[in-house]
């Protein structure tokens, strides 16, 4: 009985893995144009640049005399 249960579990695991692989492939093919654009944008991005560190002060803040004090 132990061998039968083990074979059933392996078969079930193989079916689940196959279904997951098929689902992943389906999503890759369905969204290929968008995924290609996103991957290209990621490849071109600069990982050392943090947009939160930009010291850009809005024109409204400049007019009010407010300065950005994020010089950590």
Residue 20 lies in a domain: yes
pLDDT in tens, 4-36: 788 899 999 999 999 999 999 999 999 999 999
The residues, any chain, with a CB within 8 Å of residue 57's CB and separated by 6 or more, are 66, 67, 68
Number of domains in the chain: 1
What is the predicted pLDDT for the residue at 29?
96
SS3 call for 46: coil
- Asked if residue 65 belongs to a domain, the reply is no
Between 26 and 41, the higher pLDDT residue = 26
Residue 59 within any structural domain of the chain: no
Q: What is the pLDDT of residue 34?
A: 94
pTM as predicted: 0.50
For residue 35, count other CB atoms closer than 10 A to its CB: 13
Residue 22 lies in a domain: yes
In this predicted structure, the answer to whether residue 56 has a pLDDT above a threshold of 90 is no
Q: Which domain holds residue 31?
A: 1-45
């Amino acid at each position: 009985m132990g061998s039968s249960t083990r074979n059933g579990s392996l078969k079930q695991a193989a079916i689940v893995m196959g279904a997951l692989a098929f689902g992943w492939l389906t999503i890759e093919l369905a969204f290929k144009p968008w995924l290609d654009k996103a991957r290209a944008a990621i490849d071109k991005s600069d990982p050392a640049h943090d947009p939160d560190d930009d010291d850009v002060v809005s024109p409204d803040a400049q007019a009010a005399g407010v300065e950005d004090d994020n010089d950590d």
